[in-house]
Chains A and B, each alone.
Chain A
């Protein structure tokens, strides 16, 4: 589905273009109501890596003291191969497994009990699909090039959903959203997926020549795709992304494979 979503981006690009002719951006103060915090969980079981879970809650918009890591939660991850482990909180604040690692094809279940409430989610790790290549694509109207990555979706419905994360010199850019991709309408195709990178900082291009560009490529299940897809589009509707965790918790629980590729950004002007 993601390919269609480009349309919004496209339209946004045109609006930006009209806007650059005569628009102005300014930082403003908005008086926002404070609401009770809502539970938020981020759980990941990557292939061959130890399971990790972050337990947190929402904070006020104007609170810039950092996001809390909640202590005292009972975090359990189990899989359909009979493994189960209670995760311990480490010094970074994340709850981390000591033994339980991600395996292709297995279904994982997460349970988080905090202050008497239980939040659960399940996620299945799809078979791995690797990246074939990564290259830069220069568009006339942009001053810099976008990264394009290539992969081939296996025919059949086992693999359908992917998530790409972009790192520029090892860091994520705050204005660049993680890119959800669906092969629902392109089953078995080779994708040349261009990561459109825009920044709100008009003084600094987000990608410069010589930057190290890394794509982290994950195979995800449908529930996780829905979360990242609705997150990607939330500026249009101003509603919360659809979580795959029960009991009203925000966030996601994902069992996924990962692959990475890096290049040094360069292009012909």
Chain B
């Protein structure tokens, strides 16, 4: 097994060297650059993703970077530069390029545009031209037009409408990407990873869309600057506050409210953005006399913050933070709460036209706490603390070749559980050993335009994971019994895993409206989530690779065809993928992972594979916009000791997954939206028979995940009514209807003794949420 890894890794690295050797010597003629920053004229906020196009040259253009900067390199000559950006007035100017010039551009807000609808991020033909495959970029404006879920706009729910991305279902957190499990997605908010991106068991996500700038999901070949997870990266960035004027916006709804404020700290130089959100459905239920709610509290809140300082033309520092907490309380009986929090500082520095660097430091924490007072007092808590440093250089060798080099290092301190049990005569406590580890990586990647047709992004990432002391580590025999344990001192290295992760993604333009893209990537994951239930819970236990748990590995290949129609009004894509996974974990029968230091004895590992085809047709512009996406896929595991050592369907295996999304601007006042989803039910174990223990029915399971939940489908409707719109004040009413035709989707199927007739056994289906209407009033001034 081990030898096999080395061999395959070796081959890939050789291939890699060969490719970089082949494409690096590309000569560039006598060229000059025009560069600068694109800003909002009024707010001075830098604008990201603004297309800067050279009119004289067909399809020659760039989009502005994260800091609003653009750079065009052209042969000596005269050009007309044109900038068209939604929500702003068109800007055109002529230049005569005889040397390198800097030209900053300020765009004037158009009278018809509102700021939240202009956060576009792509060139109109990015679908065809961008070399990165398997990437979905979401515009916040697009999310704003979709039907609201329980009164909130939600980016996690929105990405689930994309091909290859599947929601984990109602009442469960997370999503699945290309057959991977929920813990194989790295969810980043301002480059900090969140261990649990859901509130209230997945009914809401941790992201307050009012403070976000954009969202990018990489589901295929990850660029080399990303790693640490097997399946996908969800990169969410918070907005930078307006450094010219103060604004407040908010929403008041039946279930939740939010309020956000932004403005200058020092006008023109620095800004703040803060956001707060709170749900109060429980309070409303209490007030309206719902009996079950009288002694129960159930809510979440979160706070977002971003401060931004332009220290000089070349230095930008930002500080962002997040604090979120969910609370569930049964008065005088029990309580659970959990949440993420982080603080990060980011410094970006521009050295010259070619070199730029970004440095960030972050502290990040996820923890949960629960307590019970029934007969005896019991409480337990668990905490993960991460300290991380990232440093990256971006080097533009020439306009056709851009390099990234970087390193990242994270120190994990995981406390899996500290329990207190207070009996009347004795206090007992159990403190499980902390697990310490260090996750490091270095990478280099190059985006290169080989010629007018071929563009390639390739890179190599080397990750080094070290399981560290202090702590007790175990030796197991073939039957997973602990035979020996060794105590490691603080900082002592227990085990190191070094992996090379080659990544390559290429786009070949067939013509100006169609392209073929292909990609290969290896990904490695060292943090593993052990779930108490198939759907996942907030109190699941994270564990790291150790002497007994090997890193998960995945090799993915994908191939796609992309075509735009009618002057980029329609986008079409078809993409196929195959993913081979190693060291996939699952539980042995009857596993118990809670309250013990040793979890390895309860786990089995084996291999996995997933493959599928994703289709998407999208209408991007016009009064009617929307998309259809369809995924046909398979995801399986084969682990010795489970399902008689045969292949079995992963829980998240879904054959068909369809999303239909439509948005229509009925009038300047009203806009309508609808979204319909359909997917094959999750693979699940149903009993193959039954027997009796102590006179009670017990189900007999003969195969793992051999059955399917009933198919899931649901229609959501939304309508937005613009009440008032002036340059000073804006307000709207948003109506939503979740599950419009009241489909009773199975949340759980239970096999048990019949409630009415104890001599019979029956299957019961539980469904959540038939028709959930919502109204909220949003304002901005």
Which residues of A line the B interface, CB within 8 A? Answer: 1, 3-8, 10-11, 13-15, 17-30, 32-35, 37-38, 40, 42, 56-62, 64, 66-67, 137, 139-141, 146, 148, 152, 165, 172, 174-175, 177-178, 185-186, 188-194, 196, 200-201, 226, 229-231, 233-242, 250-252
Contact = CB atoms under 8 A, between A and B. Distances in A.
9 contacts: A8-B532, A27-B762, A141-B331, A146-B374, A189-B426, A192-B424, A233-B592, A238-B701, A241-B698
Given A27-B764, A186-B421, A17 B292 contact: yes
A231 to B, nearest CB: 7
A189 B763 CA distance: 41
Contacts of B428: 185-186, 189
B643 to A, nearest CB: 10
A226 B293 CA distance: 37
B699 interface: yes
Interface in B241-284: none
Contact of B749 (A5, A24, A28, A152): A28
Most-contacted residue by chain B among A25, A146, A252 (CB, 10 A): A25
Given A22-B772, A56-B692, A231-B693, A190 B590 contact: no
A240 B330 contact: no
B617 interface: no
Contact of A190 (B333, B378, B423, B692): B423
B744 interface: yes
B698 A67 contact: no
B766 interface: yes
B25 interface: no
B424 A24 contact: no
B171 A61 contact: no
B196 to A, nearest CB: 14
A95 to B, nearest CB: 15
Contact of A67 (B419, B692, B767): B692
Contact of A251 (B532, B693, B744): B693
A192 B701 contact: no
B751 interface: yes
A27 B685 contact: no
A240 B701 contact: yes
A19 B695 contact: no
Given A233-B592, A241-B590, A241-B698, A59 B690 contact: yes
B592 A61 contact: no
Contact of B532 (A30, A32, A59, A236): A236
A174 B696 contact: yes
A175 B590 CA distance: 20
A42 B693 contact: yes
Interface of B: 171, 200-201, 285, 290, 292-293, 295-296, 298, 328, 330-334, 336, 370, 372, 374-376, 378, 380, 419, 421, 423-426, 428, 430, 532-534, 537, 539, 587, 589-592, 594-595, 684-702, 704, 706-707, 744, 747, 749-755, 758-770, 772
Contacts of B764: 25-28, 200
B380 A4 contact: yes
A17 B298 contact: yes
B448 to A, nearest CB: 49
B688 A230 contact: no
B766 A23 contact: yes
A87 to B, nearest CB: 19
A161 to B, nearest CB: 14
Given A4-B380, A140-B295, A236 B765 contact: no
Most-contacted residue by chain B among A32, A137, A172 (CB, 10 A): A32
A226 B590 contact: yes
A234 B419 CA distance: 23
A222 to B, nearest CB: 13
Nearest to A174: B753
B372 A10 contact: yes
A13 B744 contact: no
A90 B110 CA distance: 92
Given A148-B375, A236-B532, A61 B689 contact: yes
B330 A188 contact: no
Given A19-B766, A186-B426, A250-B691, A61 B537 contact: no
A141 B295 contact: yes
Contacts of B426: 186, 188-190
